[in-house]
Amino acid sequence: MRLAVLVSGTGTILDAMADAGLPVSLVVADRPCRAIELAVGHGIPTSVVERDSFGDDFDRTAYTEKLVAELDAVDIDLIAMAGFGTILEQPIYERFAGRILNTHPSLLPAFPGWRAVEEALAHGVQVTGCTVHYAELEVDSGPILAQETVPVLPDDDVASLHERIKAVERPLYIETIRSLLDAPPTREVCK
């Protein structure tokens, strides 16, 4: 199976994937970022499908179609979002149904969205964690594949808690992706 990783930021998850020996075929970013530099350093092919806007005029569907074309051009089978900052539209979920993974810094369905760690602290939870799930059109939804808990410590702030979640998230994501890559292919039923 050919794995693509979608990135937008520093690339810490991508770096862990490469160090663990996951066979990443392509790294795609939605903006110039450090993750692309890391991918190049690991010898992984890269592409930047750059957003033309971060405002209200952003055409999310057209962007998603460009991204799908880029993934199709290299016959990608499985997609792992790794800190990817663009919410995608229906074309990718139609083309790669059941083959897009995401990781999220909470125990979904609790605290979906960008401020998961901050919300966990604001709600005073004693335990949070991370979730690996199949991505679907609705943000941070989709069937859950794996979760791991992280205790919230009395002196935690957003930065310290997020770092402890990341320490658990990276190996969990890698293990989950590896299990999917190693799974025997499913047989399609002809109609």
30 domain-assigned: yes
Supply the residues annotated as catalytic: 104
Asked if residues 114 and 86 have their Cβ atoms less than 8 Å apart, the reply is no
pLDDT tens readout for residues 162-191: 999 999 999 999 999 999 998 765 544 443
Average pLDDT, the chain: 94
Residue 61's pLDDT band (boundaries 50, 70, 90)? very high
Mean pLDDT over residues 150-163, rounded? Answer: 97
Instruction: Give the residue numbers spanning the domain of 90.
Output: 1-97
User: CATH number for the domain including 169?
Assistant: 3.40.50.170
Q: Does residue 39 share a domain with residue 2?
A: yes
pLDDT tens readout for residues 122-144: 999 999 999 999 999 999 999 99
Q: Does residue 85 share a domain with residue 116?
A: no
Nearest to 59 by CA among 48, 73, 49: 49
